[in-house]
Chain A
Amino acid sequence: MKRMSRKHLATPYVFWIICFTILPLIYIAWYAVSDGDGGYTVENILAIFEPVHWKAFVLSIELALICTVVCLLLAYPVVLILRRLKIKKKGTIVAVLILPMWMNFILRVYAWQVLLSDNGIINSFLGMLGLPSINIINTPAAIVFGMVYDFLPFMILPIYNSLMEIPNDIIEAAKDLGADGFTIFRKIIWKLTLPGVISGITMVFVPAMTSFVFSDILGGGKIQLIGNVIEQEFTTSMNWQLGSGLSIALMTIILLIMALLQKSNQQTKGNNMIW
Chain B
Amino acid sequence: MVKNVFGRIYIGLIMLFLYAPIVVLIVLSFNNSKSRAKWGGFTLKWYSELFDNSIVMDALWTTLTLAILSAVIATVLGLLGAIGIDAMKKRNYQIMLGATNIPMLNADIVTGIALMLFMVRFLPLGFSTMLIAHITFNIPYVIFSILPKLQQIDVSVYEAARDLGANSVKAFWKVIIPIIKPGITSGFLLAVTMSLDDFIITYFTRGAGVNTLSTVIYGEIRRGIKPEMYSLSTILFLMVLIVLVMSNRASKKQVK
Contact = CB atoms under 8 A, between A and B. Distances in A.
A99 B21 contact: no
Contact of B148 (A89, A199, A231): A199
A16 B135 contact: yes
B153 to A, nearest CB: 6
B65 interface: no
| Residue of B84, B87, B135 with highest tally of chain A CB at under 10 A | B87
In which size bucket is the chain A interface? 35 or more
24 contacts: A6-B86, A9-B83, A12-B80, A13-B84, A16-B135, A21-B102, A23-B118, A24-B117, A74-B14, A81-B10, A89-B251, A94-B186, A95-B244, A101-B197, A104-B214, A107-B229, A111-B22, A111-B25, A114-B36, A120-B37, A165-B149, A202-B104, A203-B144, A255-B98
Contacts, number: 296
Main secondary structure of the interface of A (DSSP, over half): helix
Given A21-B99, A121-B24, A243 B94 contact: no
A214 interface: no
B7 to A, nearest CB: 4
B128 interface: no
How many residues of B sit at the interface, in one of the four size bands?
35 or more
Interface in A140-190: 149, 152-154, 157-158, 160-162, 164-165
Contacts of B177: none
Contacts of A97: 18
B56 to A, nearest CB: 12
B103 A103 contact: no
Interface in A4-23: 6-14, 16-17, 20-23
Contacts of A16: 77, 135-136, 139
B35 to A, nearest CB: 10
A85 B148 contact: no
